Amino acid sequence: MNSLTIKSNNSWFNRVTISHIDCSNQLLIAFFIFFLLISFFPLASSSSNAKQSLVKNVGLTNATSSQSSINRPSLSFNTSKTFRVAVFGDVDSNPGLTRQLDLMNKYNVQTLLLAGDFEYTNGKAVLDDLSKHGFNKNNSDIVVGNHDSGSNVNSWLGTNRTFGKHDFAQGKLSVFNIDANTKFDCSSPQYLIVKSNIEQSQAQYKFAMVHQPFVTVKSTHPDNGQFNCYNPMFKANNVSAVLQAHNHNYQKEIVSDILYGIYGTGTHDEGSSMYPCDSNTDQNRVPALCITGENGITILDLQISTASSRHIDGWFINNEEKVVDKFGLG
């Protein structure tokens, strides 16, 4: 066999001559390949750990209680320990809306939260469908979207303004509506009223609800520009979640231990017509989960067994009743 000579600038490898490849050489080569493989796997493991750390850093877990560890919310539950809410937005009068309301009834939702935009075509028909499914001003809340009439929302809720506080679960849950269609920055009367309401509330769970989002990934609509105004106030007063819509997709992220969600998963737009997820962070570069092409409802189970409970289990369920996302918070 001809000799193969390998030259190197390194004096230690000044000249190596390989004249034969025998069994010993083959074993040496095999050992070298094995060494490379075991050197690679810790890197892969580190990458996996980094992804898990990202989930922990944003404050979400997939199984933090007996509820969030199951595939879907239980059809029957102890109402003295759990209060169940469902949220969606950007709905329209069509069979998809009826399907979503049917799901809420099936899962025994106690309060419906509509994060704006229900009057695209026939708002009255939407409200009639809500009524047929047992929802009214006592067990539902609607915030005004850019396609809605404030007077129609006020009529449904029995109020005289489009922002303010609405209580549920015997006062254990307070929802604070914010109308982003009117002046709502830190110098506005609306902000001062909402801030006062939140500061004075003794509710176990405090939710803020607005149509145009404080935070969003890059999509069809940008953020509302008032995050830096509202988030410190939310944080200082133990707001648990901020419910939003406007972008017709599902989003989830944690900022200052607060769940910020976008629930534009109603059926005004369906499937591939829903809005894109063009980034995986919000405008402040905070990691965010975005899912598009899935219409559905998000169910939130609030643990109320003790006055100190601050735990929420959540499931995003599509119209085919598949659990697309689930999480625990708190």
Length of the chain: 330
Q: Examine the pLDDT at 307 and tell me if it is beyond 90.
A: yes
74 pLDDT tier (thresholds 50, 70, 90): very high
pLDDT tens, position by position, 180-210: 999 999 999 999 999 999 999 999 999 999 9
The DSSP letter of residue 77 is -
- Report the domain count for the chain: 2
Whether residue 211 sits in one domain with residue 76: yes
Q: Which one-letter amino acid corresponds to residue 288?
A: A
Quickly list DSSP for 222-288: ---S-HHHHHHHHHHTT--EEEE-SSSSEEEEEETTEEEEEE--SSSS-GGGSPP---SBBTT--B-
Position 53 in a domain: no
The residues with which 178 forms a beta bridge, in sequence order, are: 210
Position 197 in a domain: yes
pLDDT tens, position by position, 1-19: 433 333 334 443 333 333 3
pLDDT at residue number 38: 43
SS3 of 88, please?
strand
Cβ atoms 254, 58 nearer than 8 A: yes
How far, in Å, CA of 43 to CA of 211, rounded? 43
The DSSP letter of residue 61 is B
Whether residue 134 sits in one domain with residue 249: yes
Whether residue 157 sits in one domain with residue 9: no
Whether residue 182 sits in one domain with residue 37: no
Whether residue 244 sits in one domain with residue 155: yes
Nearest to 301 by CA among 272, 267, 259: 259
Position 300 in a domain: yes
Terminal CA-CA length for the chain = 71
How far, in Å, CA of 67 to CA of 81, rounded? 12
Cβ atoms 28, 22 nearer than 8 A: no
The pair of three-digit structure tokens given for residue 74, joined into one six-digit string: 């239980």
Whether residue 70 sits in one domain with residue 38: no
For residue 70, how far is the Cα from the chain centroid?
A: 18
Residue 79 belongs to what H/E stretch?
none
pLDDT tens, position by position, 255-301: 999 999 999 999 999 999 999 999 999 999 999 999 999 999 999 99
Percent of the chain with pLDDT over 90: 78
Whether residue 114 sits in one domain with residue 33: no
Position 65 in a domain: yes
Position 203 in a domain: yes
pLDDT at residue number 112: 99
Q: What is the CATH number of the domain that holds 190?
A: 3.60.21.10
The residues with which 7 forms a beta bridge, in sequence order, are: 15
Q: Examine the pLDDT at 64 and tell me if it is beyond 90.
A: no
How far, in Å, CA of 253 to CA of 281, rounded? 9
Whether residue 103 sits in one domain with residue 76: yes
- Domain containing residue 9: 4-43
Position 55 in a domain: no
Position 52 in a domain: no
Whether residue 237 sits in one domain with residue 167: yes
How far, in Å, CA of 40 to CA of 321, rounded? 41
Nearest to 297 by CA among 271, 256, 267: 267
Q: Examine the pLDDT at 42 and tell me if it is beyond 90.
A: no
The pTM assigned to this predicted structure is 0.81
For residue 159, how far is the Cα from the chain centroid?
A: 29
Whether residue 25 sits in one domain with residue 135: no
How far, in Å, CA of 314 to CA of 232, rounded? 24
Q: Examine the pLDDT at 47 and tell me if it is beyond 60.
A: no
Whether residue 232 sits in one domain with residue 102: yes
pLDDT tens, position by position, 118-162: 999 999 999 999 999 999 999 999 999 999 999 999 999 999 999
70 pLDDT tier (thresholds 50, 70, 90): low
Neighbours of 15 (CB within 10 A): 8
pLDDT at residue number 328: 95
Whether residue 106 sits in one domain with residue 78: yes
Q: Which position has the higher pLDDT, 30 or 50?
A: 30
Position 145 in a domain: yes
